[in-house]
Chain A
Amino acid sequence: LPEYLFPLHFFLLFLLPFKSCSNVEYDYFQYHPMEEISSWMSQMAKQYPDVVAIVDYGKSYENRTISLMRIGLKSDTKKKAIWMDCGIHAREWIAPAFCQYFVRQILQTYKTDAKMEAMMTNMDFYITPVLNVDGYMFSWKNSSTRLWRKNRSPGPSGDCYGTDLNRNFDANWGTIGVSSDCNSDIYPGRGPISEPEAQAVTYFVGSRKEDFLCFLTIHSYGQLLLIPYGHPDFTASNYNELVFTSMHVGEEAAEAILKVHGKKYRVGTSPAVLYPNSGSSRDWARMQDIPLTFTFELRDNGTYGFELPQEEIQPTCEEAYSGALHIITYAHDKTFNGAAATAAALWTTFMIVILVDGVYH
């Protein structure tokens, strides 16, 4: 090579680490800190500008932005919506990993899968990869903070930290499965939706509640699909119908999960299968009349618990995707296919009448 090219060669090598993110594959099977998740979100919005939009819908206690990804194809008709949030509990790292995987999956499949394309045309997916931003970042601080669960707002006397966000929603708030001790990991806060993170979800979903067909909130661990309500004595109108349908759909979702890697997920109400609780986001969502609301508790069953090995991220995401997709597809088909199918049936009937009439005469 000509001598004058050598410095240029080294100069280009020096530039390599500064290549734009889009050329470097995002590793969905490793855990990512908040900064990496945020830049991944921006990157996805840039890569899919007509499909993905970032919506900032709140602020955490420590004044960080809470963002979701709205994913859907343009449509002239009024769209319905699917809600999914991950990382409401800081230490459940597999949950944000699943949200990111879910986003990747739907963006990869809609171009070749007609069903996914139809769903993304009829519905928008609202996905929050990390809801409890402060808590998640705190759990990354060092090894002694890894098992933090709550948010980071200070308690009433300032000498304890954190409210359990999944006890803070306005759904039988503070009645069962909580502790008034601010140090407790199930401290529900000063009052219902006292926490900005819970307020963000309440205002965003609440102001659009008629649009939502499905509300999924992702946790770990325990391998469970939980349906409302957390309070054992609470029933609402249509309660039996609700349980009947949710159990039916939930059991089918668990079957779909089992088929992927043979992992058994148990299905039921919280007080039956796990423990009674109150103030959960899932219960609040159901009280807004969102028809299908589930809590997913992902792998494992306690062997590794919250520190699920990175090698298990892929199989966990694959099975959970299968389960979530079943519920979402059911919610979609109930709203969108029903009308089309009835029209097809009527048309077929009409044609048969004409035919038979012809045959008899």
Chain B
Amino acid sequence: MGLRRAIVLVALMEVTWSLNVTTIGPETVSTDASAHPEPAEENTEQKEAAAAEEDVMATGELNPNHYPAQRAAKLVQHYLNARYGSPYKLFGLKEVHSGNAEEVADSGRKYQLEISVHEIISNTKEKCSAEVFFPSGAKQLSPQVQVSACEEILKLDAKSEEQALYQQYKTNKTVRTEERLPDSYGHIDPEMTPFWHLSIVASSFIMLKESTENTLYNVAQVANITQLATENDQLKFDCHVLLHEMVSQEIPQWKLLFTWSPAEGVKVLHTEQLPHVHEFEKRAKPN
């Protein structure tokens, strides 16, 4: 009788031991186990399977890690840069915490987002609420962005550096880039960095205007930036930027004419998209 009890005990111990030691993998997970996974994985699994439904526009609560919320949130970055950016203030999207999308009868789609925004130069982070509206219809109207609960990061003061730069380049110096910003190795001459920031800020106007729910823009590189004569106390610049559009993987190229001063911020006067560069390709010989 003792031996029988011992065998039962041992059998129980062996089962416990094996479970602890063997890692879970497709061969060891029985079909029963995969039908009843732990709650956290189940949500993820269901969401991954539901990804198939996302080509029909996602509505309702959004997965913050998935592209619909991420693309909408990127527009908040472009909006903040266009509106509040400067040579010493540049915003980045840090994280999307939650999102919601809904159809607005016959006019478009609206996203409500909780995100974290990051001011890159001072390395400060803040949570913000934002609303992004993508208008529908043939006219190709720009998306609209509204931001709230984000005051601290927008109040960040870079006024003394901005004034110093403004005074320096208003009369004494002139900017004309020699290298692309950044160069092929990711390097930017420290003296050029404020102008790299300015180019990104100006480009944000374009990226905001051109964005849809099917695009994700970043500035790939500034090909060149040239300072023109100061006009109405505004520094004036002509720049050539290369954007990166993630979904098509294309590099659209734009020329921009814009002004800046600490008081007025960036104002874009003129933009022009350059044709896709094929000419170089036709003449390029193999290495």
Contacts and interface: CB of A to CB of B under 8 A. Distances in A.
A342 B22 CA distance: 8
B269 interface: no
Contacts of A140: 184
Contacts of B34: 240-241, 244
Interface string B53-97: 011000000010111001000000000000000000000110100
Interface stretch (A11-19, A117-125, A345-353): A345-353
B161 interface: no
A309 B187 CA distance: 6
Interface string B19-41: 00111111111000010010001
Contacts of B248: 179, 184-186
Given A243-B48, A302-B244, A307-B183, 13 more contacts: A62-B286, A240-B49, A241-B34, A268-B48, A272-B66, A273-B65, A303-B92, A307-B186, A334-B28, A337-B21, A348-B17, A353-B10, A360-B6
A40 interface: no
Interface string B175-206: 00001101111110000000000000000000
Given A273-B67, A301-B93, A309 B282 contact: no
A10 interface: no
A152 B67 contact: no
B44 interface: yes
Interface in A161-187: 161, 164, 179, 183-186
Nearest to A306: B220
Interface in A17-32: 30-31
A283 to B, nearest CB: 14
A144 interface: yes
11 contacts: A137-B287, A147-B221, A161-B284, A241-B26, A264-B95, A275-B246, A304-B182, A308-B186, A312-B186, A352-B10, A353-B6
Given A143-B180, A353-B7, A183 B65 contact: no
Contacts of B185: 30-31, 307, 309-310
A345 B51 contact: no
B281 interface: yes
A179 B45 CA distance: 30
Interface of A: 30-31, 62, 134, 137-138, 140-141, 143-144, 146-147, 149, 152, 159-161, 164, 179, 183-186, 222, 232-233, 238, 240-245, 247-248, 251, 264, 266-269, 271-276, 291, 301-312, 330, 333-334, 337-338, 341-342, 344-346, 348-349, 352-353, 356-357, 359-361
B144 to A, nearest CB: 22
A241 B29 contact: yes
Interface of B: 2-3, 5-7, 9-10, 13-14, 17-18, 21-29, 34, 37, 41, 44-45, 47-49, 51-52, 54-55, 63, 65-67, 70, 92-93, 95, 120, 179-180, 182-187, 218-221, 242, 244, 246-251, 276, 278, 280-282, 284, 286-287
A159 to B, nearest CB: 6
Nearest to A61: B286
Nearest to A360: B2
Contact of B41 (A244, A302, A310, A344): A244
Contacts of A186: 248-249
A186 B26 CA distance: 33
Contacts, number: 199
Contacts of A141: 287
Contact of B65 (A238, A268, A276, A360): A268
B187 A272 contact: no
B249 A149 contact: yes
A248 B120 CA distance: 32
A350 to B, nearest CB: 9
B2 A273 contact: no
A229 B45 CA distance: 14
Given A185-B248, A244-B34, A356-B6, A232 B54 contact: yes
Contact of A302 (B29, B218, B287): B218
A41 B18 CA distance: 43
B186 A62 contact: no
B182 A160 contact: no
A160 B279 CA distance: 9
A141 B285 CA distance: 11
A359 B34 CA distance: 41
B26 A245 contact: yes
Contact of A273 (B28, B37, B66): B66
A353 B9 CA distance: 9
Contact of A272 (B21, B54, B184): B54
Contacts of B95: 264
B67 A305 contact: no
A247 B45 contact: yes
Contact of B22 (A245, A269, A275, A341): A341
